[in-house]
Amino acid sequence: MKFLKIIVSIAIMLTLNSCDNLFEFSVYEADVQTAQKNTTAKNLKLLESVQVDSQDFKFAFITDVHYFYNNLKIVVDDINKRQDVLFVIFGGDIADQALLKEYEIFYDIMQTLKKPYFTVIGNHDYNANGSAIYREMFGDYNYSFVFNNNKFVLFDDIVLESKKVPDFDWLSLALSDNEQFDQVFSFAHIPTISNDITPEMQETYKSLMVENNVSLSVHGHTHSYSYEEGVVSYLVIPALKDPEYGIITVENKTFNIELIEL
Amino acid sequence: MKIKNIFIAFIVLLLTTNFYAQEANLNKDKSWYVPDYVKAQFAGNIGVISVGAGYQLFNKVLYTELLYGFVPKSVSEADEIHLITIKNTFPIYRKKIGENLTLTPIAGFATTLDIGTTTFTSLPNRFPDGYYIPNAFHFTLYGGAMLHKDFVNSKALKGADFYFEVGTVESYLWYAITSSEVKFKDVFSLSVGVNVYL
């Protein structure tokens, strides 16, 4: 009877604690809770209220959580301590199998971040019903915003999983007003050094960066650090397998990068 | 079409089970392939509703079942989900709590195959070798309790099991064990079901 008591108490505990997932029907469900929808739009709203009193500011770049949840939490806590980091960009692979449960775990940890954050979609995020979950939970795959007269362009360059060609026309248009801004920063999950996009796509992406005076293009996906300085610089931040992330300091017409290893 | 065929196969299985079982009742013995019971379950990561048939094996040490589960679009918020499950339940002990009434703590595991277009059992050609592990299979683990009632006066039905289970999926459990950010209450959920002996 002891076993039964344990089971019954677990059941009662479940009922009292979390009515949201009292019953679960399939790992493939894409039924995003209403409170967790339109996260990108909500964060853009939050960003409007972020005060900045000089031209210089910092933002952080985290990427590839997969299932390294403890490391995500360590990084989030560290960013919370840094008053000068104003917002965070997450470089994709929010999930590992693209299950709703994984998206929810990510969402819950990011709720503890006391700054606005913006995501790009990763290849893992597209699997199963992941693309539908991403759209509901975050929003558009391609979007851009302006902060302190700098433009930030977030681009979906997933090919194999999405079975489509990246929307370079959108990217070209999003970058076309670059002359109005101090600097332009571009973000996409797969870097141009990865063969998971074709050599033609790599070239198209790079030429768009050069033509539109992009200062820095930031990526994840390869799980290792890489930095290539040039007319357009290319930065790849490692996965959260270890608690690591990047801080980019924007200074007038230039920038500095720093890899934080906790 | 594939899904429709599987669904039809299940309906046929259920109907023949009924037919054979009724015959078996009269003859007091039945062929080895005729299931001992038919069942329906609500939730438990194997469909909103799953239906199927089962066998009591090895002198009722193992209840093994084949189930078809379904999640409609309105619940999944994506395509309809179709799941084939093999479920293995072990009764831990049996306690008689009344006349024709037995209470049994149960534990078990199930293997679920998604038969849809968004998952794969072998990696599609467009990916390099070993890029992803197959994502159409999942395993659920559960524990719970089952109440068995014998219907002594009924000619049509021999008895029924009513059960509830608290369970989780292998990946969820792994995340809860390896990460302090994932709580056990976030990964366990409830299911209820009934087995009907014919």
Distance CA A237, CA A260 (A): 10
How many angstroms away from the CA of A106 is the closest CA of chain B?
10
Could you read off the pLDDT of B120-156 as tens digits, one per residue? 999 999 999 889 999 999 999 999 999 999 998 888 8
Residues of A in contact with B188 (CB under 8 A): 10, 14
What is the mean predicted confidence (pLDDT) over B169-195? 95
Other CB atoms within 10 Å distance of the CB of residue B150 = 15
Domains of chain A: residue spans and CATH? 56-261 (3.60.21.10)
Residue closest to B149 by CA, chosen among B158, B140, B136, B139: B158
Amino acid B162: pLDDT: 96
Could you read off the pLDDT of A31-81 as tens digits, one per residue? 999 999 999 999 999 999 998 988 899 999 999 999 999 999 999 999 999
Residue B3 confidence (pLDDT) above 70: no
Pairing of strands B62-71, B81-91: antiparallel
Residue closest to B195 by CA, chosen among B166, B157, B168: B157
How many angstroms away from the CA of A26 is the closest CA of chain B?
4
Domain count, chain B: 1
How many angstroms away from the CA of A19 is the closest CA of chain B?
10
Could you read off the pLDDT of B83-118 as tens digits, one per residue? 999 999 999 999 999 889 999 999 999 999 999 888
Amino acid A140: pLDDT: 97
Residues of B in contact with A7 (CB under 8 A): 105, 143-145, 166
42-71 in B: which are within 8 Å (CB) of A?
42-48, 69, 71
What is the mean predicted confidence (pLDDT) over B30-37? 86
Write out the residue range of the structural domain in which residue B188 sits.
2-197
- Test B45 with A25 for CB contact under 8 angstroms: yes
Amino acid A238: pLDDT: 97
CB A242 within 8 A of CB A253: no
- Test B181 with A72 for CB contact under 8 angstroms: yes
Residues facing A226 on adjacent strands: A236
Higher local confidence (pLDDT), B30 or B170:
B170
The model carries a pTM of: 0.89
How many angstroms away from the CA of A109 is the closest CA of chain B?
7
Residues of B in contact with A105 (CB under 8 A): 175, 179, 181-182, 186
Backbone angles phi, psi at A18, to 5 degrees: -145, 90
What is the mean predicted confidence (pLDDT) over B23-44? 77
Residues of B in contact with A136 (CB under 8 A): 77
Amino acid B8: pLDDT: 56
In chain A, the residue whose alpha carbon lies closest to the alpha carbon of B182 is A105
Could you read off the pLDDT of B62-91 as tens digits, one per residue? 999 999 999 999 999 999 999 999 999 999
Interface membership of B198 toward A (CB under 8 Å): no
Backbone angles phi, psi at A39, to 5 degrees: -65, -40
Residue A249 confidence (pLDDT) above 70: yes
- Test B71 with A17 for CB contact under 8 angstroms: no
Query: What is the arrangement of strands in the sheet containing A244-251, beginning at the earlier edge strand?
Result: A117-119, A85-90, A57-62, A244-251, A254-261
Backbone angles phi, psi at B158, to 5 degrees: -85, -35
Could you read off the pLDDT of A155-212 as tens digits, one per residue? 999 999 999 999 999 999 999 999 999 999 999 999 999 999 999 999 999 999 999 9
In chain A, the residue whose alpha carbon lies closest to the alpha carbon of B125 is A160
Amino acid A17: pLDDT: 55
Residue closest to A28 by CA, chosen among B78, B173, B6, B86: B78
Amino acid A67: pLDDT: 95
